[in-house]
Amino acid sequence: MKNKVYRLLLIVFIISLSVFIIGCSSGKKSETMSSEEVNTQEDDVDAESDDVITLKLWAFSWTAAALSDMARDYQAKHPGIKIEVLSLTWEEMSEKLLLAINSGINIPDIAIMDPHFLGTLINIKGLHSIENDVDPAFRKKFIDAAWNVYNYQGHQYGVPIDIDFNVMFYRYDIVSKAIAKAGLKSFPKTWDEFIKVGEIIATDEEFKFEDGSHPYLISIEKGGVYAWEQTFLAPSGGHVFSADYTKPAFHEPNSVASVLFMRELLEKEIATVWNPEHGDIIPELKSGRILIHSAGPWWRQDLCQSVGANQVGKYRIANNPVAKPGNPMNVLGGSCVSITKACKYKKEALDFIKSLYTPKNIQAYYHAVGSPPPVRSFYKNPAVFLPPRKSDNADEYNFYHFFGKQKVMTLLYAAIQKSEPMQLILDNRIEDEVLIEALDVTLDENIDSSEVPKILFRYARKAKELLSEFTEHEYLPYFVRRNDEGER
């Protein structure tokens, strides 16, 4: 009886909290939202008309402006449709979507989703699956690995709108010298080659600073589950879960090898742990203290703006080295466009989503986010999507085609072709309470490497328990607790 009462009180609390948050959001948007709600309504559309269908679209702050332009274009061709775009930060999106769906209040019709919180929303049955609504011709537009990120047990819960995966941004002017000394003709393609280059950086007199220290070849992000999945786990041949999501797999041999490889890099002082809370890593790259930073393709915008156009030539991008030839280079994440189960106009919502994939809109979205598009035609005929070589805007041309003197799309497409879909996190406690802690513990210099398999096995058992116990009702009190403790 107590449990039933407690659960009822928790549900009431969530509904009350959502009403409070919604009230605050509407009255004080500049503080609670990353930007104000974007008005996409045409002047000649009567908002009160019964003939007008309103679709609410929640978008990430860095995509809202581009999506608003697309919404206006769509409305001009479909006068019976009104699309309201709301701009949210990543944190706001992940929390407000869950709160809205759980409470049944202020649920958007369409939302831009991230794989790391999409799984939880699927698990609480908050999203509409579209596999029966999408025609084969539309499906064929997309790269398989990108499309399949959002497929769970045969159901499709989103249409990919960009692809994200980590590549290695490195100081070409320094690392190229170590590559030559290692007898290699190009950036390391295997872990063994990477270690060889790293040992030269860490020991060779040519790379020593005046204070006697040496640069670190690469940084390893503290608690960086996403970075681990992309940069080390996928290239090891390992996975977070089994293919059917019924059990964890991060304790299996290939996955263990990814952690042991990171430990080897740290023990040989080839790598250092970097805590993002300590600030921006770009100054470390500029100084040459750290020579490689692993990040998504979009990060080249940040790096170019920080170092300046005259210094970009010092940097290059490389794909991840792998444990063994033939292993995936990466896992593909990014974001997708999803329809919520609460949406009353699912057919109209899907029609708008399909309109986002014209050459003009693909180019605009790519320019807004910097992550590669998920459509096949982009790579088969980039001239349709990209500014021409004689573009009046040299910066725009360079952004699309080059990083420094590299042909960016050639390199990125090679990685996409050799990558797998990112696995969904079906209960974010597995990330928050298991994976982050497991990485911190196993990378602790005070434990012996021989203990790593046992430690990962213990955390895998905890993850298995969470997978087996997860239900909609189990999740509600956890969500309240996280907010009550101020963890987010």
pLDDT value at 429 more than 80: yes
Q: What is the pLDDT of residue 385?
A: 57
DSSP letter (8 states) at residue 383? G
Read off the pTM: 0.83
CA distance 395 to 402: 10
Q: What is the tens place of the pLDDT at every residue in 113-141?
A: 988 889 889 988 999 999 999 999 999 99
Residue 103 has pLDDT above 50, yes or no: yes
Which pLDDT band holds residue 39 (cuts at 50, 70, 90)?
A: very low
- Please report which confidence band the pLDDT of residue 485 belongs to, taking 50, 70 and 90 as the band edges: very low
Residue type, 325: P
Q: Which of 379, 375, 345 is nearest to 362 (CA)?
A: 375
Mean pLDDT of the 393-406 span = 62
Q: What is the DSSP letter of 474?
A: H
Neighbours of 272 (CB within 10 A): 16
Instruction: Provide, rounded to the nearest whole percent, the portion of the chain with pLDDT above 70.
Output: 81
Gap between the Cα atoms of 193 and 321, Å rounded? 8
Query: In terms of C-beta density within 10 A (0-12 exposed, 13-18 middle, 19 or more buried), how is residue 196 classed?
Result: middle
| pLDDT reading at 47 higher than 50 | no
What is the arithmetic mean of pLDDT over 43-50? Answer: 47
Half-sphere exposure at residue 39, Cβ-oriented, CA atoms within 13 angstroms? 5
CA distances 375 to 139, 141, 161, 385, 397, Å, are 10, 5, 9, 11, 20
Residue 16's CB is within 10 A of a number of other CB atoms, namely 11
DSSP-based three-state secondary structure for 327: coil
Residue 446, pLDDT score = 94
- Measure the CA–CA gap between 480 and 134, rounded to whole angstroms: 36
Residues 6 or more apart whose Cβ sits within 8 Å of residue 394: none
pLDDT for 348-382, tens place per residue? 999 999 999 998 999 889 888 889 999 998 887 66
Question: What three-state secondary structure class fits 141?
Answer: coil
- Residues contacting residue 422 through CB under 8 Å, at least 6 positions apart: 115, 149, 229, 331, 332, 333
Check if 2-164+334-414 and 167-331+423-471 are the same fold: yes
Report which secondary-structure segment, H or E, holds 160: strand 159-164
Residue 133, helix vs strand vs coil: coil
Q: Which fold has domain 167-331+423-471?
A: D-Maltodextrin-Binding Protein; domain 2 (3.40.190)
Superfamily of domain 2-164+334-414: Periplasmic binding protein-like II (3.40.190.10)
Least confident of 153-157, 159-163, 277-281, 399-403: 399-403
3 state SS of 232:
helix
Q: What percent of the chain has pLDDT over 90?
A: 64
- The domain segmentation of the chain, as residue ranges, is 2-164+334-414, 167-331+423-471
- Which band of pLDDT confidence, cut at 50, 70 and 90, is reported for residue 409? confident
For 86, residues 6+ apart whose C-beta sits below 8 A from its C-beta are 33, 37, 38, 56, 57, 58, 59, 64, 108
pLDDT, mean of residues 472-481:
38
Helix residue ranges per DSSP H, 128-239: 136-139, 144-147, 172-181, 191-203, 225-228, 234-236
Residue holding tokens 């986002």?
356
pLDDT tens digits, one per residue of 237-270:
999 999 988 899 999 999 999 999 999 999 999 9
Is the pLDDT assigned to residue 31 strictly greater than 60?
A: no
Task: Give pLDDT tens digits for 178-208.
Answer: 999 999 999 999 999 999 999 999 999 999 9
